[in-house]
Amino acid sequence: MFANLKLEEIAPNPDQPRKFFDEAKHEELKGSIKENGLLQPVVVRPIEGAETPYMLIAGERRWRACKALEMASVPAMVIENADDERAYVLSIAENVNRDDMTIMEEAGAYADLKAAGWEPAAIAKRFGKTETHITWRLGLLTLRPEVSEMVDKGLIKNNLAWHIAQLNWNNQMVAASRYVRGDFDSEADAQHFANGLKMMEKQTSLTGEEPPTAEEQEKRKKAKAKAKDGLGKAEEILLPLLEDLAAKKPEDLAVVLGDDLVRHVRVVGKLYSQVQMVRNLLSKAQGIQRAMQAEFNKAAVEVQQEAAKEKADRGAAKPQVEVKPEGEAAAGTKPATKKAASKPAAPRAKSGGTAKSPARKAPAQRKVEPAGVAAKKPEAAAAK
């Protein structure tokens, strides 16, 4: 049934699938309602026992605009006996095809229905979408928040977003940031790069864990030489021919080529088809190569960080290991220093001109007493 309801009698739906409301479009809608009135009623359901008797099912933008214009009441369609799930489905149906509903909001709405037991095929049928569309939208929910924000802002289109969503969180940021800063010539090149990163995550043979054999190296060398030679011939013969044809007018070609025109159309058509296919193939190869380089750079940084950490750990441990031996060495040299200082005493006594017998007896006494000192000399040397 339809009724005119006071604005304060209507509460917004806390489970509204759309969270973002464009301010410019809000102002535009306000102007339209002010000029023409509210042409489409809001949709509500009664809530028993609630402080606000009605809750919005559809038309929150209209309700917001009317509230901003300080209108007293709005026309509303009241749906009786609408449980939470039905109300949510109606809310999605009202929003899902609108331009101002973001991709991530749409994906979140489908995810809520799936959590309630809806299959992707049933969701697709209910909202007039293909099952692939629903599956791809659901696949976006694995995006990290920063990348999701880029998608919502339109910096990353939905097809590329899906390819990025297949990566781990670190590689998602690598692919997204490189695309946003303009590292790729096209969205397709960015997709091929993301697919290459996915191959690296799966640790396919592309990582080249084992070095190629001599035979494989020779095959690669010949294949590279052949490709280079073929490309050279194309640049030397084919490109000038195409440039020459492109420089002429259609009416001139009709006369110049004569009966051979049909053959030119057929051959150039084949060339175009092959060039498109090879261009796509080369773009995929370039994406893989870039991914391999990114993986290599990441591994190189990790190795450098590990080496720096090991060096820092050794530097922190080295003083504790070396201080003790140095202290022991210093302690071991003290007896040797005292002994070395006592040796010159004998020559001074000998050169003093006094009785020779006491001078000879002193060395004899030293030979007996320092036996223990002599035993310590190798230790002192080892300590040194």
Find out whether 40 and 72 touch, Cβ atoms under 8 Å.
no
Closest-CA residue to 64 (of 97, 100, 93, 88): 100
Q: Check if the beta carbon of residue 329 is closer than 8 Å to that of residue 382.
A: no
* CB atoms closer than 10 angstroms to residue 197: 27
The rounded distance, in Å, linking the Cα atoms of 326 and 311 is 22
Instruction: Please give the span between the terminal C-alpha atoms of the chain, in angstroms, as a whole number.
Output: 103
Pairing of strands 73-78, 2-6: antiparallel
H or E element at residue 8: none
Task: Give me the catalytic one of 27, 28, 51, 60.
Answer: 60
Respond yes or no: is residue 60 known to be catalytic: yes
Give the phi and the psi of residue 166 in degrees, each rounded to 5: -80, -10
* CB contact set of 141 (below 8 Å; sequence gap of 6+): 107, 108, 111, 165
d(CA 32, CA 65): 10
Q: Which residues, listed in sequence order, are joined to residue 129 by a DSSP beta bridge?
A: none
Distance of CA 273 to the CA centre of its chain: 34
Could you give the residue numbers annotated as active site? 60
